[in-house]
């Protein structure tokens, strides 16, 4: 008998049947894509419950192998496919609760298959519960529906709240959604107007200039005053003590660059909550470092990551997703998962580049991001603004863009990394900030210099090595490190 659905069922004679392995693996990938579609809507995968009946239940049990963690797995009148293929359960789903329901009169998927599947999953360490329904065939009865309802309620409604509390112990990046103002008497229509103009969080409203808010269509000065008054109740805007600031900075994390030498001079990696600028000539490793950070930022904090997604604004057209997959595989990560956790946009002009930050604020309100990259921050400005006659306008626009970046870093606790181009330092008689790097200086002048928290100058070294130097930082001394670029991205230089 040949039945086609999620995969081909070649036989149902016994658990160790001839199986359509390729079809099963495709089915798992299809299921993972469905879960990732929910993630893209802002729902964390570990709040998604996967369930199925018969063949669908077999695919649901396959989800335990996935590197995408889910809330729970429910299989009804089903069996465990690929039972001899190890591992049955991934590290990510080792603690994922499982419920199997089976009638002992099932003549399609025999009850014995369900029992053997139970033993296999128990041996693999799954937290599994098995419900038997006497006299039930390949169907569902009211008692089973009650058990299913109880399971879903516990793991799709009650468990997510516990997950929220657990997440609050980890890295915090979520700002207060702007909708919170509706609890303080602000009309929903006015909240919508704020969001249409890029104000997605209460913090963003509190930090905004009143003059800019009044210019928004449909918002009078009286409305703006009322909204900001309410936002000031939720966001601290006054003085505090240095000890409080020091305590809050303990929540900042550092994202590994992939190179121990570079991480050491940065005292752990790229700092969240601030802007890190990397400048240098072409082929000095700026974009490769950005690609590496996009992968590593998704790893757990205790492994040098930021436990969040990455956002990439590309102005030069050098972003390559296949490079992310290559780096991810070198680190033992699932390439598809990594790609789905990187939000990419190509900026076509300076106005578009700024508009993308408004979209970014909305996305960061809905999901956990740990990194934003702009590669490069000045490329479009160099081509759109020409000569000294437009220099002032260019610097004002660039300054506003950089200020918006810093606000994102402050409000969402993300690490912002921008790359910058260089110009020959002797064009205007300047000596450059990194003379050892070939007599070049970064574009953007003082506006760029003052906006960057940490400035890193990159240059080519001997052979395939690259050299990076800390040029400016409020807490790190000037020093340099070397790194190499390999298949796993940025890494240590081999002796």
**Up-side HSE of residue 377: CA atoms within 13 Å toward CB?**
37
pLDDT of amino acid 5:
53
Q: Partners of 8 in the beta sheet? A: 4
Note the pLDDT of residue 429. 45
Confidence (pLDDT) at 166? 47
CB 255 within 8 A of CB 305: yes
Task: Let me know if 54 is a catalytic residue.
Answer: yes
Q: Are 287 and 430 in contact (CB under 8 A)?
A: no
DSSP per residue, 145-168: HHHHHHHHIIIIIIHHHHHHHHHT
Quick one: which H or E segment has residue 310? strand 309-314
Burial-class residue 365 by CB neighbours within 10 Å (0-12, 13-18, 19+).
Answer: buried
H-state helical runs in 341-390: 350-366, 379-384
| Per annotation, catalytic residue among 67, 90, 138, 336 | 138
Rounded to 5°, angle at Cα 158 from 154 and 163? 120
Phi, psi of 169 (to 5 degrees): -85, -15
Catalytic residue, from 45, 66, 77, 106: name it.
106
**Catalytic pick from 45, 54, 66, 256?**
54
Identify which of 335, 293, 243 has the alpha carbon closest to the alpha carbon of residue 29. Answer: 335
Calpha distance 111→102 (Å, rounded): 6
pLDDT in tens, the chain (495 residues): 444 455 555 555 554 456 788 888 888 888 988 887 777 666 777 788 999 999 999 999 999 998 888 999 999 999 999 888 888 998 888 889 999 999 999 999 999 999 999 999 999 889 999 999 999 999 999 999 999 998 988 887 655 454 444 444 445 445 788 988 988 889 999 999 999 888 988 989 999 999 999 999 989 999 999 999 999 888 888 888 888 888 878 888 999 999 999 999 999 999 999 999 999 998 899 999 999 999 999 999 888 999 999 999 999 999 999 999 999 999 999 999 999 999 999 999 999 999 999 999 889 988 899 999 999 999 999 999 988 899 999 999 999 999 999 999 998 999 999 999 999 876 554 444 444 445 889 999 999 999 999 999 999 988 789 999 999 999 999 999 999 999 999 999 987
User: Is 397 labeled as catalytic in the residue annotation?
Assistant: no
Nearest CA-CA partner of 14 in 105, 114, 124, 88? 114
pLDDT at residue 430 in the model: 46
pLDDT for position 477: 94
Q: Before 66, cis peptide (omega within 30)? A: no
Respond yes or no: is residue 134 known to be catalytic: no
């Amino acid at each position: 008998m040949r039945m086609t659905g999620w995969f081909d069922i070649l036989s149902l004679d016994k658990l160790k049947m001839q199986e359509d392995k390729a079809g099963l693996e495709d089915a798992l990938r299809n299921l993972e894509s469905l879960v990732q579609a929910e993630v893209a809507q802002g729902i964390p995968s570990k709040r998604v419950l996967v369930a199925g009946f018969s063949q669908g239940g077999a695919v649901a049990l396959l989800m335990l192998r996935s590197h995408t963690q889910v809330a729970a797995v429910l299989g009804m009148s089903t069996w465990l496919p690929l039972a001899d293929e190890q591992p049955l359960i991934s590290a990510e789903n080792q603690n994922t609760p499982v419920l199997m329901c089976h009638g002992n009169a099932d003549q399609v998927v025999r009850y014995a298959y369900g029992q053997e599947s139970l033993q296999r999953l128990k041996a693999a360490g799954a937290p599994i519960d098995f419900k038997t329904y006497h006299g039930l065939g390949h169907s569902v009865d009211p008692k089973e529906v009650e058990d299913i309802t109880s399971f879903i309620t516990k793991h799709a409604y009650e468990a997510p709240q516990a997950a929220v509390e657990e997440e609050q112990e980890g890295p915090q990046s979520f700002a207060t959604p702007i909708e919170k103002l509706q609890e303080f008497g602000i009309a929903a229509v006015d909240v919508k107007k704020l969001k249409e103009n890029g104000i997605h969080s209460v913090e963003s409203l509190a930090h905004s200039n009143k003059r800019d808010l009044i210019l928004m269509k449909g918002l009078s000065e009286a409305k703006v005053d009322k909204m900001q008054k309410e936002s000031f109740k939720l966001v601290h805007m006054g003085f505090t003590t240095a000890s409080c600031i020091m305590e809050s900075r303990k929540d900042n994390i550092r994202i590994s660059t992939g190179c121990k030498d570079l991480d050491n001079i940065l005292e752990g990696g790229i700092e969240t909550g601030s802007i890190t600028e990397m400048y240098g000539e072409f082929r000095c490793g700026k974009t490769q470092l950005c690609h590496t950070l996009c992968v590593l930022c998704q790893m757990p904090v205790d492994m040098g990551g930021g436990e969040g997604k990455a956002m990439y604004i590309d102005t030069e057209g050098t972003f390559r997703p296949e490079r992310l997959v290559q780096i991810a595989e070198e680190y033992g990560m699932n390439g598809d998962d990594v790609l789905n956790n990187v939000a990419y946009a190509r900026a076509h002009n300076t106005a578009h580049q700024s508009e993308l930050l408004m979209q970014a604020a909305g996305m960061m309100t809905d999901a956990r991001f740990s990194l934003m990259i702009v590669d490069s921050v000045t490329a479009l400005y160099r081509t759109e603004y020409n000569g000294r006659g437009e220099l002032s306008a260019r610097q004002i626009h660039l300054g506003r863009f950089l200020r918006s970046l810093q606000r994102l870093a402050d409000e969402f606790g993300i690490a912002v990394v921008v790359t910058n181009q260089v110009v020959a330092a002797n064009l205007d008689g300047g000596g450059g900030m990194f003379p050892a790097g070939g007599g070049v200086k970064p574009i953007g002048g003082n506006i760029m210099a003052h906006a960057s928290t940490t400035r890193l100058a990159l240059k080519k070294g001997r052979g395939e090595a690259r050299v990076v130097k800390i040029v400016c930082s409020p807490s790190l001394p000037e020093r340099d490190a070397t790194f190499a670029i390999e298949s796993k991205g940025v890494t240590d230089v081999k002796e």
